Amino acid sequence: MSVALGLKRPLVVRTVPVSDPGDLIARLPGVAPHAWVRHGDGLVGWGEAASVRVPAGLSGPARFAWARAWLASIFRTAEIDDPVGLPGSGPVAFGSFTFDPASAAGSTLVVPRTVLARRDGRSWLTTIGEDALDLMTPVRTPGRIRYSDGALTAMEWEHAVATAVKEIGGGRLDKVVLARDLIATADRGIDPRALLARLARRYPECYTFSVGGLVGATPELLVRHTGRAIESLVLAGTAPTGSDPGDLFGSEKNQYEHVCAVASVRDALDPLCATLDVPDRPELLVLPNVQHLATRVTGRLSDGASVLDVVAALHPTAAVGGTPTATALEVIRELEDMDRGGYAGPVGWIDARGDGEWGIALRCAAVEGDRARLFAGCGIMGESDPVQELAEAQAKFRVMRYALEG
C-alpha cells in the first residue's frame, strides 16, 4: 500500500517534549508553512513527509472517507515513538477540503516532516525521518498591494444577491450564502508567515491557519475532537462591531439565519452522538471588525468516529451553504460565477488517533506568488438588502486586507 502511495518505506516518527518555544509562527521557515494557532497554542509544521490530493468529484462524505483511508494506510504502517500522547502529538496531517466536491482546485492532505506544538502549557516537537536543517529566513513584506475585481464586480454581485432574494421569495429555498472574491497583487512575492503573524496578533480569538497556500483566520470552529468528546461553534447572524448588540439579537432575519445554522449542525451530529447539548439561545462573539450570534454545541460520540467522520457529517453547514443544502448549492453555482476552491470548506488537522480540530475556511485568501485571492460571503435571506450585504462582505474583506497591508 505504501508503495502505491509513493512512499518507499514506512514513516519513522519521533515526538519529544521540548521547552516552551515561544511564538510558534515565528519559528516557521519560509517554505510552504502549515499552521493552526489560537491564543498562541496550536501546531505549526513544515516540510513534507507525505501528501496527497483527494480525487475531485467524489460525492458527499465519500471524499472524507477516501482521505481517512489514505491517512490510515500512512499512519498504520508508521513507526511511532510518542511519549507525549496528547491530541496533536505523533504524526499529524494538515488538510484543506474544497467547499464543492466538484471543485477543480482540489482538496489536500499534508503530513509535515516537522511539527512544533503547544497545548495546555506543554510543548513538543515531532520529526519524521532523518534530521534536516531548516534554514530560517527573514520574513518578507509584500510591498504595495493593488486590488482588482474577482469573478463579479460589486454591482454584479449586488444583482446576484437580488436574484437570490427573488428565489427565496418564490419558495425555492430558505437561505443561501453567496460569496465574492477580490484579487490582490503585490509588488513582491507574498510570504504567508507575514500574514499569519499579523492575523494571530490582531485576531487571537480566531483560528489562524495555513494549509496548501490557503491562509486566514477563521472564527468558526467546525469541530474539535478529543477522544469521544466533540465541540462545534456555530456562527450565523452578523453586524458591525460597535453597533448595538440588541439590534442583532432583535433582528428577525439574523435570528432565523442563526436558527437554520444551528439546526443543520444539530441534525448532522445527532446520529453520531450518545449525548448532545445545544443551548437554547445564542451568545455574542465580538471580533475587531464584526460581531456574530454564536452557539457552542458539545457532545459525546457514540462510537470511535474520527474527526474526519464528523467533518463529513457537518459539511456544508447552513452557515456557509444554505437551506435546504442541495438547492442552496445549485443556487451558489448559478449565481457566484466562480470556483470557491477551499473557501468555506473544512480546514484543520488530524492525528493518528483520529483527534483534531477543523474550522470553516473563512476570512481567508488563496496565496500564490505575488497574488492573493480574497473571499467573503454573506447569508442571504428573504429580507436581505443587496447594498447592506455588499457592505457586510466589504467588512469581512478587511481581515485579509489588514494581513496583507499591515
Of 175, 257, 336, 389, the catalytic one is 175
Helix (H) / strand (E) element for 227: namely: none
Name beta bridge partners: 283: 294
CB 345 within 8 A of CB 98: yes
Q: At a CB cut-off of 8 Å and minimum separation 6, what does 311 contact?
A: 64, 97, 222, 223, 346, 348, 358
Q: In terms of DSSP bridges, do strands 290-301 and 207-211 run parallel, antiparallel, or are they unpaired? A: unpaired
Closest alpha carbon to 218 in 377, 102, 379, 328: 377
CB 313 within 8 A of CB 299: no
Q: In terms of DSSP bridges, do strands 214-218 and 346-351 run parallel, antiparallel, or are they unpaired? A: unpaired
Using omega within 30 degrees of 0 as the cis cutoff, is the peptide bond preceding 21 cis? no
Q: In terms of DSSP bridges, do strands 79-81 and 12-18 run parallel, antiparallel, or are they unpaired? A: parallel
What the block records as the C-alpha cell of 243 is: 453597533
> How far is it, in rounded angstroms, from Cα 386 to Cα 378?
10
Distance of CA 250 to the CA centre of its chain: 29
Of 158, 220, 357, 392, the catalytic one is 220
8 is catalytic: no
> How far is it, in rounded angstroms, from Cα 33 to Cα 208?
12
Give the per-residue SS3 of 283-351. Answer: EEEECCCEEEEEEEEEEEECCCCCHHHHHHHHCCCCCCCEECHHHHHHHHHHHCCCCCCCCCCEEEEEE
> How far is it, in rounded angstroms, from Cα 380 to Cα 57?
27
What the block records as the C-alpha cell of 111 is: 503530513
> How far is it, in rounded angstroms, from Cα 198 to Cα 144?
16
Rg of the chain (C-alpha set): 20
Q: Is the C-alpha dihedral spanning 323, 327, 329, 330 positive or negative?
A: negative
Residue 258's SS3 state is helix
166 is catalytic: no
Residues designated catalytic = 175, 220
